[in-house]
Structure 1
């Protein structure tokens, strides 16, 4: 698989994948709760944050990187405003084919019985490609990238539903 050349400018050694988390509400409406992109570091071919990569939140409306990369605490808790190897600045970068990736997740949301799924999406030169859907998406990464999930209105809705 080949990633989009604009993403290779940021980190060429890994397929830097999007994680899009969807939630299906009680009315069967699909919401994208959060999106972040993971980047590998150094010569690593792995972008996963548990393996030393880091995540940058993505604006769900525009596909723009939100400017701050965050590493897991267990890996050093570094924050980045640019990629540590290529010095590519995140702020203002727009993910290619972002709207198509959103549409793909919304289309595939009903193929899983779970109401919350985390989708790993590669952005290739010709568009988005699903790598996998995670029935247990590990919301810690989304929480870190989003800057605190408990502030998110859809998470509040989910928590209220669970309480009932």
Structure 2
């Protein structure tokens, strides 16, 4: 299984008005840990932050993972599985197939076991999402979707506010 690359068309400064070291307008070379889980799609780290009493914190997190399903096109395969993350970035023992809600303990194609694994650089990723929330000066909930490049740096793919159906 070779290294897969994915194109990121997201321009960070268009939303936040400044440049960031996490911006990547070229191909994304996915982190080896995420490639090990499933190398044929861009696996996304989904974090939800909230602000309460002027304090921003992580509400929840999950890892959205692709699969191969011969009955659907490639677009429908990305993020077909969702595995919860705890506050330290550890994967929960089970993921859920989002179409069937089937509970699974390993990836159906790669046989990667979810339990006992941790998203690399999760502390920095979590801090990045919290700092973006603080910079955005929003008192609501914000949903963030990140890719993780081969060097462990976060690439912001998209973000949604509570009123935009964030979950």
TM range (shorter): 0.7 to 0.9
Instruction: Name 1:20's counterpart in structure 2.
Output: 47
Asked if residue 38 in structure 1 is aligned to residue 69 in structure 2, the reply is: no
Deviation of 1:112 (Å): 5.6
Aligned to 1:121: 146
Preserved CA contact (<8 Å) 2:31 2:149: yes
Structure 1 residues 137 and 22, CA, compared in 2 at 3 Å: closer, same or farther?
farther
CA RMSD of aligned residues (A): 1.6
Q: What number of residue pairs does the alignment pair up?
A: 131
Structure 1, gaps ≥5 residues long: 140-164
Q: Gaps spanning 5+ residues in structure 2: where?
A: 1-27
Shift of 1:123: 1.1
Tell me the TM-score normalised to structure 2 length.
0.73
Between structures 1 and 2, the one with greater helix share = 1
As a proportion of its length, which structure holds more strand?
2
1:101 matched to 2:125: yes
Matches within 5 A, 1:1-164: 1-25=28-52, 27-42=53-68, 44=74, 46-48=77-79, 53-60=80-87, 62-72=88-98, 75-110=99-134, 111=136, 113=138, 115-126=140-151, 127-135=153-161, 136-139=164-167
Scaled by the length of structure 1, the TM-score of the pair is 0.74
In structure 2, what is the Cα distance between the partners aligned to 1:68 and 1:85? 15
Which range moved further: 111-120 or 84-93?
A: 111-120
Structure 2 counterpart of 1:146 = none
